[in-house]
Amino acid sequence: MPELPEAERARQAIERRALHRRIAAVDDRDTYVSRPHAPGEIESALRGRELVAAHRKGKSLWMETDDDGPVLGLHLGMAGGIAIDQEPSPRGWDRFTLEFEDGGRLALRDRRRLGRAVLEPRIDRLGPDAEDITRKQFRERVGYGRAPVKARLMDQSVLAGIGNLLAE
Residues with a catalytic annotation lie at 2-3, 59
Contacts of 129 (CB under 8 A, 6+ apart): 4, 56, 57, 58, 160, 161
Strands 60-65 and 94-100: unpaired
Specify burial of residue 132 (Cβ count, 10 A radius: 0-12, 13-18, 19+). exposed
Residue 104 CB coordination number (10 Å): 15
